[in-house]
Structure formats: structure tokens, C-alpha cells
Structure 1
Amino acid sequence: MAKQKIVVKVTMSGDKKSRKALKIAVGISGVESASFVGSDKDQIAVTGEGIDSVELTRLLRKRVGYTELVSVGPVEDKKPAESKPAESKPAAVQMQFPPYDYYYPGYGGYYYAVY
């Protein structure tokens, strides 16, 4: 199977509902990543292999609210147009300092008499 990208629009009224919707989307089998997209961050883009888009929509409608399936399609691979040979640059040397060893003197034992 090929990777696919599913975009669903979810009506979310608050931060708690949006976290719940994202948690539901990630919990479905085959999902590799999920993120908010769109101008209002009201759409969830889910990518992975073998994801059931109908099941995703049904679960979100049942647990969060109104959900609309926007698109289902293959993941587009981003390939560089033309690669130029990389110029070798000298590696930057980073100095490492030893960690600080803080010394806190212990407090002496305080004795008190009970009368």
C-alpha cells in the first residue's frame, strides 16, 4: 500500500476539543502523523498507510462533533529540482566545558535538649 493523506474538517469549540480530536486521529491504526492545517486550524491532516477514512470521520463525529471529509489522496514526495555539488567547508569546532560542580556545604547537626 502507498502512503495516503487524509484531510478532515472538524468543528471544534475550544482547546480541549481540538486536543481530543488530534488524540483520536493519532489512535487509529496506520497513522504515522497528524497535524492541524487550514487558516483557522480547524482541519486535521493525517498521513500513513492503510488508514480507513470513513472510520476516522465516524469516530470524530461520534466523540468530538460535526466532521467533514475534505480530501483523500496519495502523499506528495518533495524532491529537490536540481542538486548542486556540495562545497566542503571546514567543520566548526565547538568548545566543551566541563559541567559545573556546585558544592553546598552540609549543615551541622543541631541538638536540642528536651526538658
Structure 2
Amino acid sequence: MRQKIVIEVPLHCAKCRKKILAICTTSDGVTSVTFQREGKDQVMIKGEKVDSARITECLRQKVNRHAKLLSVAKDE
């Protein structure tokens, strides 16, 4: 089952963006990672059998304590 996961992570600098990208792309099952900026800094992750809670926890520990899981939906 393909999933679309959206996580809100405040981006402070290019170094933070690079860390976020590294964490998300090395997770199992992830096929694509994109950044969205619609008034909020968001990361959209697409993939199969992705552990959204684990990715959010890694982002909280390594990048920003304010990472927040917004949605997990079936990708069509």
C-alpha cells in the first residue's frame, strides 16, 4: 500500500534541510521526499510500508523538537 505522509518541521537553515532529507531518504520504503511551503514548513514523504511514527521520532531527536506528524493517507 502506497502512503503519503506529511510532517511539519520548521526549517531554520540549509543544514537542517539537508539533515531532514538524509533522515527521510534512508528510511525503509521511501520513494520520494518533497518540501512544501504553504505558510508552514512541511515535508511530504511517499512510499510503501513507511513507518511514519519512526520517521517523526527521528526528526524530533536529530533535527528539531517541534516535528509534528500532520497526516498519513493512502496515495493513489
5+ residue gaps, structure 1, are: 77-115
- CA-based RMSD of the aligned residues comes to 1.2
1:60–1:22 Cα change, 3 Å? same
Cα distance per residue 1:3-53 (max 9 Å; x no partner): 000000002211110111111111100000001013246100000001001
Higher relative contact order (CA 8 A, sep 6+): 2
Structure holding more strand per residue: 2
Structure 2 partner of 1:15 = 14
TM-score with structure 1 length normalisation?
Answer: 0.62
5+ residue gaps, structure 2, are: none
TM-score with structure 2 length normalisation?
Answer: 0.91
Sequence identity percentage: 37
Contact 1:12 / 1:64 at 8 angstroms: preserved in 2? no
Structure holding more helix per residue: 2
